Amino acid sequence: MDYEKNLNEHLAVITMNRPEVLNAMNPASTKEITTIWDDFANDPEMWVAILTGAGDRAFTVGNDLKDQSSDTWPPKRDPSGWGGLVNRFGLSKPVIAAVNGWALGGGFELCLAADLVIASESARFGCPEVRIGGVPSGSIHRLIRQIPSKAAMAILLTGESIDAQEAFRIGLINEVVATEELMFKARELAKEITRSAPLGVQAVKKVIRQSDQLTLSEAMQTNYPAIEEVRSSQDSIEGRKAFAEKRRPKWKGR
């Protein structure tokens, strides 16, 4: 795994770096990326993360099936879920998936767990687990909530992959770009996010998480601590002051 932290941009870039096996995960790499996500979550200077895969052949194809014959399989289940991210529901910082090539199995689930997804023209997405006698696990629950049910069922029941344009058409991803522009576009999107107050951005995720099981009426009447935290923050004062002075705010994240 590669972990790049840009303090000036408040941006972390996490790269799954096993291109020789299409960035598939084994127990060692799973443990490593989980530690990286822990660091990102706990670093107040990191406001946005980009997750990508090394090379142009794959984002990640999920578990390293060849490794499943070793004595380290199955890996110890971590509460943060596959890739250290899919069950990390308390992470309020935005995650952008920059998908290059294949995103299969656990790789597909990482895309579903990300907040935003930018894909190269060569990207393909799928849940092939049923074709090898398995079940796509968490992807079932996320996919059916993110795209129309018939589109989700086609992906889940057939195990077939879809290309980037189809993924964009059904609302699975945000943008399709040329392969050589993938990381540039992902970084540009991250910069757009960090132009806003980090506490406000994080509050959006917190409120969505707190209200997504409520009716509209219940959601509108619920008290959200995250919103109150933003209103009483130093950044809230700075934002109003910067607006009055016609300058760009200098966010502190507090």
Residue 1 has what pLDDT? Answer: 85
Known active-site residue 228: no
Residue 69 has what pLDDT? Answer: 54
* Average pLDDT of the residues in 104-119: 97
Cα separation, 87 vs 93, in Å, equals 14
The dihedral built from the CA positions of residue 54, 58, 62 and 68, taken in this order, carries a sign that is negative
Residue 239 has what pLDDT? Answer: 93
Cα separation, 97 vs 51, in Å, equals 5
Show the CA angle centred on residue 86, arms to residues 177 and 131, nearest 5°: 80
Lookup: tokens for 217: 């009426």
Between 27 and 124, the higher pLDDT residue: 124
Residue 75 has what pLDDT? Answer: 55
* Average pLDDT of the residues in 16-37: 93
* Average pLDDT of the residues in 27-46: 95
Q: Which helix (H) or strand (E) holds 153?
A: helix 149-158
At 114, the amino acid letter reads A
pLDDT-derived band at 171 (thresholds 50, 70, 90) equals very high
* Average pLDDT of the residues in 128-155: 93
Strand, coil or helix: 209: helix
Contact 149, 120 (CB under 8 A): no
Cα separation, 95 vs 84, in Å, equals 13
Whether pTM exceeds 0.95: no
> Of the residues 4, 9, 45, 129, which is catalytic?
129
Known active-site residue 129: yes
Helix-helix angle 106-113:138-146, to 10 degrees: 40
- pLDDT tens by residue, 44-71: 999 999 999 999 999 999 888 776 555 5
> Of the residues 109, 175, 180, 238, which is catalytic?
109
Residue 234 has what pLDDT? Answer: 93
Instruction: Count Cβ atoms below 10 Å from residue 216 Cβ, excluding itself.
Output: 8
